[in-house]
Structure 1
Amino acid sequence: MAEIAFFDVETTFSTGHGRRFYLVEFGAILVCPRKLVEVGNFCTLVRPPDLSAVAPTRLSGITRKAVAAAPAFEEVADRVFDILNGRVWAGHNILRFDCHRIKEAFADIGRPPPQPVGVIDSLEVLMQKFGRRAGDLKMATLASYFGLGQQKHRSLEDVRMNLEVIKHCAAVLLLESSLPHILPGKDQGNLSMVTRSKTGEEGSRKSPPTSLGSHRSVPYQKGRLGKMVERAKEALEGAKGSKSLNSILRHSRLLL
């Protein structure tokens, strides 16, 4: 059985014409699919081809000095290839972002990229199985929802958090499937949220492809609630002694 390679890339982008992304960090953990435990890992900073053309605000807490001293991608390409090739790839929103960045990095050095035997995008899986109960499904939001701490925006920490988020979601879904008539599912008890979308490429890569709105469920038609309360009061006032319950039951059809 193929091991699962959870991976994440941190990027910056060139500020000149033809803006494109460059890797500044790659991190991955190998996970046993039977036990969901980490069995290996690799993480490295990566020096972009032209550091002077890189926007410093894109370094996600990684200093320019550290990136300048990091190896070029060509120097770590063998390790990246070995940890990814022939394994199941997993990560959050990797289909829309991280997979493309890996292919671009290998194309830049004239080498064929690693190939997965399958891909698990946790964003896509959670949208289908877990729903929007946890908000906008960004990794930071999911981590906060499950009390896992703050997202670091560093590759190795983020993939480990990704694995823990999946474990928590799986546990919730397992419990709900055991008692579906008691425990609320993804279509019940959801918390509606109004989210402020981030601008720039980081927001587009980490955000789900659709936005959330807000809504409010109203169980009664406008004006009906007041009449229902008045009828309830009349029913209770008319109930005397041992006939209390019978009186309420007699009026129940009118109340509803």
Structure 2
Amino acid sequence: MGEIVFFDVETTVPTVTGQRFWVVEFGAIVVCPRKLVEIESYCTLIRPNDISAVGAKRFSGITREAVAEAPRFEEVADKIFGVLNGRVWAGHNIQRFDCHRIKEAFADIGRPAPEPIGVIDSLSVLGQGFGRRAGDLKMATLASYFGLGRQKHRSLDDVRMNLEVLKHCATVLFLESSLPNILSNNRNLGNMSMITRSRANEKSCREEASKKSPPVNFGTTRAVPYQRNRLGKVVERAREALRGSQGARPINSILRHSRSLLR
């Protein structure tokens, strides 16, 4: 399997009909598919052709002043092409949005766009496998669900958060597939209160104990291995054993005669 590149683009937001998206930031991390560790990263702000499309107020953590001094897309196109081309593309909702923005940006400068050898869109993957147990499937919602902090809407931060969300989701699905009878029952709890850790442990311990041994009815269990009315006979036999020990230590004699004592 080829290397995976998680990438994200931040863009302007069209405010009128017919206005297009302009890429204002590109960020990517290259990940080893066998270890899911980051190999390299790249991020850059990009000055759009229409600088007025960038709002004066902050959007996605990026201001008009910040991108005004950034390189134009044609100045960073070679680097972006090298990061993306011939790798597996991964990201959140990239099939509907980010991939199209990349193609548009390369078309603007008259160059062929990079091509992936495969695409992993975490939005569709999690929609099929993880469902809506965390609410909607927005990156900010998933990050909050797993306690990964708030989404910053900056390209490099978002792709790293995307990778961590996938790791957490994959771990949950792996555990559920390994213990389907125990964990899968909790998949559709939605917004119900979660079982506390201590209660969950107590429940699992009871289930495990029921598998190992049949339930014991303490009301009918005999506390001693002989009938109560035979206690006198046992004591008498013990005395006989001690008298017949012939010098041996009393405890050894009792042990040798223990079977006969309890019959």
Same fold (TM over 0.5): yes
Give the CA RMSD over aligned residues: 1.8
1:85 alignment counterpart: 85
Moved over 4 A (4+): 14-17
The count of residues paired between Structure 1 and Structure 2 equals 193
Q: CA deviation at 1:15?
A: 5.0
Q: Partner of 1:19: helix, strand, or coil?
A: coil
The aligned runs of 1:13-32 (5 Å cut-off) are 13=13, 18-32=18-32
Specify whether residues 14 and 190 from structure 1 end up closer, same or farther in structure 2 by C-alpha distance, changes over 3 A only.
closer
Q: Which residue of 2 aligns with 1:218?
A: none
Q: What is aligned with 1:141?
A: 141
The answer to whether the 8 A contact 1:132-1:186 is kept is no
Distance 1:2 1:11, change over 3 A: same
Deviation at 1:59, TM superposition (A): 3.0
Per the TM alignment, residue 189 of structure 1 is displaced from its structure 2 partner at its CA by 2.0
Letter paired with 1:147: G
1:92-171 equivalences in 2 (<5 Å):
92-171=92-171
Give the conservation status (yes or no) of the 8 Å contact 1:95–1:121: yes
8 A contact 1:10–1:154 mirrored in 2: yes
> Equivalences for 1:226-245 in 2 at 5 Å?
none
SS at match of 1:86: coil
**2: distance between equivalents of 1:57 and 1:134?**
31
CA distance in 1, matches of 2:93, 2:15: 24
Do the aligned residues in 1 keep the contact of 2:54 with 2:63 (CA within 8 Å)? Answer: no
Give the structure-2-normalised TM-score: 0.70
Structure 1 CA distance, aligned partners of 2:66 and 2:163?
27
Secondary structure of the 2:42 match is strand
CA distance in 2, matches of 1:152, 1:68: 21
Deviation by residue 1:14-71 (Cα, 9 ceiling, x = unmatched) = 5566210000000000000000000000000000002124333573121211100000
**Structure 2 equivalent of residue 71 of structure 1:** 71
SS of equivalent residue, structure 2 residue 127: helix
Residue 11 (structure 1) aligned with residue 5 (structure 2)? no
**Given that residues 7 and 90 in structure 1 are in contact (C-alpha distance below 8 angstroms), is that contact kept between their aligned partners in structure 2?**
yes
Per the alignment, residue 42 of structure 2 pairs with 42
Judged with a 3 Å threshold, the aligned counterparts in structure 2 of structure 1 residues 185 and 173 are, in CA distance, closer, same or farther, namely farther
Specify whether residues 3 and 186 from structure 1 end up closer, same or farther in structure 2 by C-alpha distance, changes over 3 A only: farther
Quote how far apart the aligned CAs of 1:155 are.
Answer: 0.2
**Percent of paired sites with the same residue:** 74
Does structure 2 conserve the Cα–Cα contact (< 8 Å) formed by 1:143 and 1:150? yes
Residue 187 of structure 1 deviates from its aligned partner by 4.9
Any gaps of 5 or more consecutive residues in structure 2? 193-218, 220-263
- Is the Cα contact below 8 Å between 1:4 and 1:88 reproduced in 2? yes
Q: Deviations over 1:130-178 (max 9, x none)?
A: 0100110100000000000000000000000000000000000111111
Helix, strand or coil: the match of 1:21? coil
Q: Is the 8 A contact 1:5 1:89 kept in 2?
A: yes
Higher alpha-carbon deviation: 38-47 or 183-192: 183-192
Which amino acid letter does the alignment assign opposite residue 52 of structure 2?
S
1:170-209 correspondence runs (5 A) = 170-184=170-184, 187-191=187-191
CA distance in 2, matches of 1:186, 1:51: 50
The answer for the alignment partner of 2:231 in structure 1 is none
Give deviations 1:197-250, integer Å, cap 9, x for gaps. xxxxxxxxxxxxxxxxxxxxxxxxxxxxxxxxxxxxxxxxxxxxx9xxxxxxxx
Structure 1-normalised TM-score?
Answer: 0.72
**Cα distance change of structure 1 residues 53 and 145 upon mapping to structure 2, 3 Å threshold:** closer
Q: Please say which structure displays the higher CA radius of gyration.
A: 2
